[in-house]
Structure 1
Amino acid sequence: MPKEVRDKLCDEIWSLCEGVIGDLVLKHDASRVVQTLVKYCSKERRDAICLALKSNYYNLATSAYGKYLLIKLLHYGSKESRELILSELHGKLRKLMRHREGAYVVEDMYVLYATAKQKQQMIKEFWGSEYAFFRNADNEKTIVDVCNESTEKRKLIASNLQGTIKASVEKGSTGFQILHAAMGEYIQIFEGQEVRDFIEMLQDQVAELVHTPEGCDVACTIIAKATAKERKAILRGLKEHALTLVKNEYGQLVLQVIFMTVDDTVLVNKTFSHEFKEDINLIIANKFSRRPFIYLLNGLDKSYFSPLVLKDIHKYMEASKETSKKDQDVRRKEILKNYIPLFYDAINNDPYTILAENMGAQFALELLLNNDFPELVEEPRKKLLSSIIDAIKGDLEKEDHLLSNRFTPRLLKTLIQGGKWNNKEKKVVKVEGLEEFIGVPFAKQVAEELFDDGEDKDALKVWISNNQGAFVIVSLLDSLGKDSNFGKKVKKSGKFIKKQEESNKGAHLLTKVLSL
């Protein structure tokens, strides 16, 4: 519709509904007309509609049709209009959270439109009547600070939060982020029987929590504090959501906490193994879903877990001390033993696809460097090392060659050197027990299969002229030695190496290594 026609119609509708807009917005057909007006009219007219509806926002929020207009006003309205709506509904949020229609309005207000300060005020309202009435009561204090002031105050706040949470869960609002935030407040102060009651209320619905940061924190906390019987019920509820859980930005941490706290590792494997088996190749190459399995392979490596995540994990481990008795490393290995054959099968079945993903190449490296079950993976490891060499053969000039990825050259260099580079100590830290697979044996295999004169006489020059390829050759020289047969072969290309452009940093390093 042309803008001038739409503006003319907006003017006509406004002239008809001005003064009676409060009656129109609660009717299913008229409400849609006003919603369209809000969408297309000017800022000044939206502000006028907001003022005309003042003192009607609670009725709108609890109306089957009016709630949609209220959402439209929040979406298209000005900062001042949103503040007006939030101010009028302040003190009524606990009541709205128990209402079928109102709960959706409160959720949208919290997730999409409230500022950080407004969110804090909204959550404090769930603490009790004092905080609903006095908007700035204990403004700078956390729930822990307030509850530490008196036992009576803690009991009252805990009771109010528990009541709101229970009513909302019974109404089917467990998936709401604002409810997760309220739960996040409650888990900071609950104690004794309150913990058991809270876990019992949510043990079948943990899957509804894991998609938000607040819900993830709640889920991890109750898993950490749960008894063996409660954990069994939680895992049963998560089984059918296993793939959604592991692929979620926050859900993957919940799975890791399960790996780190549940002593019944047979139950853990039985719950998740079958669900992951078909998609394990996608899981290990995904930014989020690979993290719990990186933990199984390499523990809490700071290369993969940020200080903030590690802080949270240690908090959950501390919370689990009363109910988790098994040694952490024993638990990790018992779960890993179940998955490690699946990891090798997934990569060996399609090495190129996995290694073409930076995350997949990283995971393959951690898998190869893990030596928890040497007898179990001896043959799969040999096969994978050969598969990696086969996967990097071919024309380096092609865009899809694995060497063009960020992590594949790093994977090669680490395997050739026999361990990871320690930047602090300025040396390669060799992996004990893998000397017959990586390091010199792998370097020899690479040199023979890629640079054998009988196969491709120009292969060495092609790799030297490729920046990343030249770095791989440097690592081969470090491992095999400059005086090895391979080293002598590289020296013969000295003139070619010196002719490389300055942008080829790998070739420039080669000249230093060979003292050319």
Structure 2
Amino acid sequence: MAPTTKKNSKRAASQKETKPAKKARISVDSSEDELDNINSSDDDLDDIVSSDDEDNEEAEKGVAEDAVKGEGSDNHTEQRKLLKERKLQRRSGSEIQQIKNVWEKLRVKNPPIPKAIREKLCNEIWELSKEHFSDLILKHDASRIVQTLIKYSSKERREEIVNALKGKYYVLATSSYGKYLLVKLLHYGTKNSRKVIIDELHGNLRKLMRHKEGAYVVEDLYVLYATNEQRHQMIREFWGSEYAVFRNDHKDLTIEEVCSSSVEKRNIISKNLLGTINASVEKGSTGFQILHAAMKEFVKIADASQISEMIEILHEQFAELVHTPEGADVACTLISKASAKERKLILRSLKDHADKLITNEHGNMVFINILMVVDDTVLVYKTFGGAVKEGFVDFVTDKYGRRPLIYMFMGLNGKFFSPNIKKDLERYMEMSSKTSKKDPVVRKQELLSKFTNIYLNAVGKGYATIIPNNFGSQFLSELLTSDDFYSQLDEANVAKFEEILKSVTVYFKGDVTEAKHPIHEVFSTRFLKSLISGGRWNNKEKKLVPFEHIKELGVPFATKFYDEIIDSTNLLVWINEKDSSFTIVALYETLSGAKEGKQFLKDLKAIKEQIDSDQSNKGAQLLLKLMK
């Protein structure tokens, strides 16, 4: 160890001064609201927990000291004996030791204990422990006994345990060992027992959120075990003491309704929420869903300066918001209301998490919102372009990952965006009206022009992986038949586009009677039909609308497909195979009125009499009907 110097002693002194300062600041924050003083006995409860831990530490310290003095195996035996005697001298020590001996038999997993023996051991433990739960619940090994008992006990016994521990749930929630027991009670407990626990913890949730152990209990309670009504009440408790004590008076009111009635109430609620959020972020709880729900309440009533304050608190941990629906809503709201400088900070923190952001059920909403509202499209491309390029195939074959990439050339198309999702995204767009100046159409076109090369290069290399996937096939179909996308292509990219069409054509070459041929995928026929038809089907008008810009699809593609993949020697096979017959129907509908289709129609007429009349081949039956 380095010798103590004046410089070291000064540094040590300064560190001692800074730590109390931090605690004082936290205590000031907590004293801002009377809620923190509701339970005056909390310090006594903490003393109970710490005294048990001190007993354990003292016993272990005694053994350690003896180990230094002792020599050889005889001394080790003596040390163990001494530790055992010390444990027996504690409160309920002999009973706990007896319970442990039975528990050691019950906890055996290999080989599994027969049910009858397990029930017998459970009954034995129950009789020994039912009067000593208070002495068991806060100790490292003893609390595991009660956990095992809860796991294997009947519903009635679990209810008895819940009732026996009334008054101690806050202690359990803040105990390093007791929290696991509390979670077990919630997991195996009934609706009624969970209500007992939630009601007892009511009024302490804000304090628990600032506690290292308690925060995890509150999170599990909110996410896994609380009812919808209880969740709302838990969040209202973060508003302040008035809404915790008089919970029934405000249960039907939203935060906007409460704040609209009084500026003073709005200031108090926003101050309490921001204090809880700030303290929880400092404790490392940024990823908690209950905290995201509290943040969602806060941003509903926050003014411009408070939005900036939230961004300052969260920008480094912004990626921890996007995996929950509440967190994604908060992230989208903050991005929409942020200044250009603040958006830069947010995007920088999301850069290393782009792959998870894009494929996450809720995170992809945040990414789409970035594409919709951030004016600096160069920054967006620099931030996410590399990740899109690297993970393109994985994204377009993912249910959620494909949506942001589809947005860039299709917008919020109803085929991929439900009404609720569109409504939310349009709401965020409206929020950005004061901070985003660029026209949305121009912004989308700029993004598409920057990502075009990534799209074409990735599809050119990965089409063989994309086409066999249902989501990927649908994405590729939409991309290749998008006039908006095609209109962005320069001469070099048009050549890449044509090369992709050639690759796609060759991909379907081969014997269609083989089970591994790609035509047997149910979505392959739809994919080919979209390229052969030469336009997009308008469901409202019930007609095919020809492409405005794309000249390579329709008749040109159908002609090449027939010339290179199908000829007079295998045309009948394609018709008589159920999975491929509809492709021939698509070719007939496109080429029947075109001069380029003369050879196809001639070959088709020659084999008409040989077409399978099996009624199960719907494609062949439709083709015969069209040829009449």
Q: What secondary structure sits across from 1:382 in the alignment?
A: helix
Q: Measure, in 1, the Cα distance between the counterparts of 2:451 and 2:524.
A: 23
Cα distance in 2 for residues equivalent to 1:491 and 1:306: 45
The answer as to whether partners of 2:452 and 2:489 remain within 8 angstroms in 1 is no
Alignment: residue pair count: 509
Q: Distance in 2 between matches of 1:445 and 1:327?
A: 41
CA distance in 2, matches of 1:511, 1:424: 28
In structure 2, the residue matched to 1:477 is 588
Q: How does 1:199-218 map to 2 (within 5 A)?
A: 199-218=311-330
Matches within 5 A, 1:16-415: 16-369=128-481, 370-375=485-490, 376-415=492-531
Matched, 1:511 2:627: no
How far apart are residue 254 of structure 1 and its match? 0.8
Q: Secondary structure at the match of 1:420?
A: strand
Greater helix fraction, Structure 1 or Structure 2: 2
* Native 8 Å contact 1:414 1:421 kept in 2: no
Give, in angstroms, the shift of residue 160 of structure 1: 1.5
Equivalent in 481, 494, 503 of residue 608 of structure 2: 494
Moved more, 183-192 or 147-156: 147-156
Would the aligned equivalents of 2:317 and 2:349 in 1 still touch at CA under 8 Å? yes
- Measured after TM superposition, the shift of residue 355 of structure 1 is 0.2
- Per-residue deviation at 1:423? 1.7
Residue 58 of structure 1 and its aligned partner are, at CA, apart by 0.5
Tell me the residue number matched to 1:418. 534
SS class of match (1:188): helix
Q: Is the 8 A contact 2:486 2:550 kept in 1?
A: yes
Are 1:465 and 2:576 an aligned pair? yes
**Identity of matched residues, %:** 53
SS of residue in 1 equivalent to 2:322: coil
In the superposition, the TM-score normalised over structure 2's length comes to 0.79
Candidates 537, 554, 559, aligned match of 1:444? 559
User: 2:176 is paired with a residue of what secondary structure?
Assistant: coil
Q: Is the 8 A contact 1:92 1:132 kept in 2?
A: no
Q: Tell me how far 1:275 sits from its aligned partner.
A: 2.6
Secondary structure of 1:356's aligned partner: coil
Q: Distance in 1 between matches of 2:134 and 2:610?
A: 83
Cα distance in 1 for residues equivalent to 2:387 and 2:472: 20
* Deviation (angstroms), 1:22: 1.4
Structure 2, unaligned stretches of length 5 or more?
Answer: 1-112
Instruction: Kindly indicate whether the alpha-carbon contact (under 8 Å) linking 1:98 and 1:164 is maintained by their aligned counterparts in 2.
Output: yes
Alpha-carbon distance between aligned partners in 2 of 1:464 and 1:222, rounded to the nearest angstrom: 56
CA contact (8 A) 1:130 1:137 kept: no
Change (3 A) 1:291 1:510: same
Partner SS for 1:156: helix
Shift of 1:162: 1.3
Deviates more, 1:476-485 or 1:506-515: 476-485
Alpha-carbon distance between aligned partners in 2 of 1:301 and 1:333, rounded to the nearest angstrom: 16
Q: Cα deviations across residues 332-362 of structure 1 (Å, max 9, x unaligned)?
A: 2222223222222222223222100011111
Runs of 4+ in 1 over 3 A off after TM superposition: 397-400
Q: Report the structure number with the largest CA radius of gyration.
A: 2
Superposition CA RMSD, Å: 1.5
Query: Cα offset for 1:138?
Result: 2.0
**Which residue does 2:15 correspond to in 1?**
none
The amino acid across from 2:294 in the alignment is: A
1-structure distance, mates of 2:200, 2:516: 58
Q: Provide TM-score, normalisation by structure 1.
A: 0.96
Q: Does the CA contact (< 8 Å) of 1:10 and 1:41 recur in 2?
A: yes
What's the secondary structure of 2:284's corresponding residue?
coil
Deviations 1:401-442 (A, max 9, x none): 32223332112111111122112111111121112x111111
Alpha-carbon distance in 2 for matches of 1:174, 1:372 = 44
In structure 1, give the amino acid aligned to 2:347: L
Is contact 2:389–2:458 with CA below 8 Å preserved after alignment? no
Quote the offset at 1:26 in angstroms. Answer: 0.6
Amino acid at match of 1:226: A
Displacement after TM superposition at 1:60 (Å): 0.4
Secondary structure of the residue aligned to 1:336 is helix
1:209 and 1:404 map into 2 onto residues whose CA distance is 42
Deviation of 1:139 (Å): 1.8
**Alpha-carbon distance change, 145 to 395 in structure 1, aligned in 2, over 3 angstroms:** farther
